[in-house]
Amino acid sequence: MSYERFAYVYDYLMQDVPYDGWLEYVNNQAEYYSIQGKRILDIACGTGELSLRLAGDGYDVTGVDLSQDMLTIAQEKASAQKIQIHLFQQDMSKLESLGEYDMITIFCDSLNYLEDEIDVENTFKCVHAHLKQDGLFLFDVHSIFKMTQIFMNQTFTCTDEHVSYIWDCFPGEVPNSVEHELTFFVQDEKTGQYERVEELHKQRTYPSLMLKEWLSNIGFDVLKITADFTEESPTDQSERIFFTCKKK
């Protein structure tokens, strides 16, 4: 998967994404579990929207992303807002030499972009290695319901003056996976013409109990599993599953 051209329309298309909800979730977990330190690693930070909010709330933020283009935009935003964040280009399943953190996050279903179990487990191991003792690991994933009932075989469209898209969802090659075929039409501000940009994104999710077992085997205590930005346990129709974990 490549975000190289997608990165430059990402923020425009993600205007309604609940970054403030993730910020509130982080603050609530830090307060409830008495996390005193402020060093936080934001994995799959993208264009820095959450990282900048965290830094604005007083956290010492390091952001990591696979896409250099995403990180370039994040750095431009940080400079424009005069906010200090540290940014690194790394694969979340192969993190190294980033120091230790009081909290580590992987939000916006970014973990679902890992295509096999080994990469997910390796990511958990990397997080564990970079987390301080009793530090918190916070992440979310798409539920199986969302992957199989909301995305599967659906088409989503958006028509806007500057950016339009057609988003087709197809079954992936493995259970609980989806392939997203995205076709964007992006207006060139100088010429007024539209450029066609095509992307293929693959996502896969797993049962919560399977993720909990992997986390426990690696050395995490899964403190709670909740759904959809609430403190409620997941139901059969929950769409986004949240994990709050502590390094043993």
The 10s digit of each residue's pLDDT in 119-143 is: 999 999 999 999 999 999 999 999 9
Q: Is 90 among the domain residues?
A: yes
Grade residue 189 by pLDDT with cuts at 50, 70 and 90. confident
Same domain, 137 and 239: yes
Give the pLDDT confidence score for residue 3 in this predicted structure: 45
Q: What is each CA distance from 9 to 155, 198, 199, in whole angstroms?
A: 19, 12, 12
Same domain, 152 and 185: yes
Same domain, 215 and 197: no
Give the total number of structural domains in the chain.
2
Give the pLDDT confidence score for residue 164 in this predicted structure: 85
Q: What is each CA distance from 202 to 49, 136, 184, 239, in whole angstroms?
A: 22, 28, 17, 18
Same domain, 95 and 185: no
85, 53 Cβ separation under 8 angstroms: no
Same domain, 63 and 173: no
Q: Which amino acid is at 222?
A: V
Q: Is 33 among the domain residues?
A: yes
H or E segment at 141? strand 131-142
Residue 127: helix, strand or coil by DSSP?
Answer: helix
Rg for the chain, CA atoms, rounded: 18
SS3 breakdown of the chain: % helix, strand, coil, rounded to 5? 35, 35, 35
Give the pLDDT confidence score for residue 7 in this predicted structure: 62
Q: CATH number of the domain at 180, please.
A: 2.20.25.110
Give the pLDDT confidence score for residue 195 in this predicted structure: 82
Rounded to whole angstroms, how far apart are CA atoms 42 and 111?
Answer: 12
Picking from 150, 206, 198, the residue whose alpha carbon sits closest to that of residue 177 is 206
Same domain, 199 and 90: no
Give the pLDDT confidence score for residue 4 in this predicted structure: 46
Same domain, 193 and 228: no
The overall average pLDDT reported for the chain is: 92
Q: Is 152 among the domain residues?
A: yes
Q: Is 1 among the domain residues?
A: no
Scan for tokens 């769409």, then name that residue: 239
Grade residue 1 by pLDDT with cuts at 50, 70 and 90. very low
Give the pLDDT confidence score for residue 5 in this predicted structure: 53
Q: Is 51 among the domain residues?
A: yes
Q: Is 77 among the domain residues?
A: yes
Give the pLDDT confidence score for residue 6 in this predicted structure: 59
Same domain, 131 and 155: no
Give the range of the structural domain holding residue 182, as residue numbers without chain letter: 146-204
